[in-house]
Homo-oligomer: A and B are copies of this chain.
């Protein structure tokens, strides 16, 4: 409440309340040990001076911060924001702050962020990495900072990780299309360097074979990225195929692709799902909000983030910790883009 020069410190509060530094600290951290009378006096002094605890000093002494960090892969994909939301919820429960950074797919930005996070001595790092095997991840972990990989699986179990079973996801997507009677299906996605793309494709092929359908009727349409624009471009290529040979359904590795494909197809005069059925992956909010609501393989997005945060906290708490790879089960949400009269809206 005072407008003077510097921001007051514990020392100032102590002086104002007529007690020692230690007592002020006790009021903040162990209120039960200080007598009600002095506690009250100190608290009054604090509000009068407008005291705000200096977190750096706290942290310096304590050796550890009260923040978690999440390094996002792609800021333009709402999926990651939902994951972040889940993390934030868990962080809030543990009374921690969450630092959010974005690498936007660039390994160098990711490295810069990780370096800064180490300097801040964050309690733990959650990350959807550009490359799960990059050395700077191992480095940060070796320093004793818990690292949890989100939406990717760490090779060799070097870290904890939380992800969805992508192979299974691919299976249920294509199984659903087959159930709808489709016998020529395109899988859209890329680049193949992404483990997820490979696994979703793999799942699609597995079930296709198990259903006894001819391999050549499951085509693969590669894309350069998992974005709306790439979805549109895939749509153009699809539209270029003569109708008699064109796939009647597409499974996109991600909802952004699916939305792009949907838009382009409708623009080109195709009816969805009659001429082309589309199923996406992730089930972001905009999937349900599309003009033709999009069927999608649902990932428990918030749950993914929450679980990851819990793992990192568990590891940070110390004690015997065993790295574990959590795998969630995806489920298909059927909407109008694959079913004419869907049960679920």
Interface of A toward B, CB cutoff 8 Å: 3, 7, 50, 52-57, 59-60, 65, 75-76, 78, 81, 84-85, 88, 97-102, 115-116, 118-121, 142-144, 228, 259-260, 262-263, 266, 285-286, 289-293
Contacts and interface: CB of A to CB of B under 8 A. Distances in A.
A121 to B, nearest CB: 7
B60 A56 contact: yes
A298 to B, nearest CB: 17
A259 B54 contact: no
Contact of A53 (B7, B57, B98, B119): B119
Nearest to A99: B99
Contacts of A76: 78, 81, 285
Contacts of A99: 97, 99-100
Contact of A286 (B75, B88, B286): B286
A108 to B, nearest CB: 12
Q: Tell me how many chains of this kind the complex includes.
A: 2
20 contacts: A3-B142, A52-B115, A55-B56, A55-B116, A55-B121, A56-B57, A56-B60, A56-B120, A57-B60, A75-B84, A76-B81, A78-B78, A81-B81, A97-B101, A99-B100, A228-B289, A266-B291, A286-B286, A290-B291, A291-B292
B263 A286 contact: no
A228 to B, nearest CB: 5
The 6 closest A-B pairs by CB, nearest first: A291-B291, A55-B119, A56-B59, A56-B56, A100-B100, A56-B60
B85 A52 contact: no
Contacts of A100: 99-100
A118 B289 contact: no
A84 B81 CA distance: 12
A143 B285 CA distance: 40
A54 to B, nearest CB: 7
Given A76-B285, A291-B292, 5 more contacts: A55-B116, A55-B120, A56-B56, A56-B65, A97-B120
A210 to B, nearest CB: 33
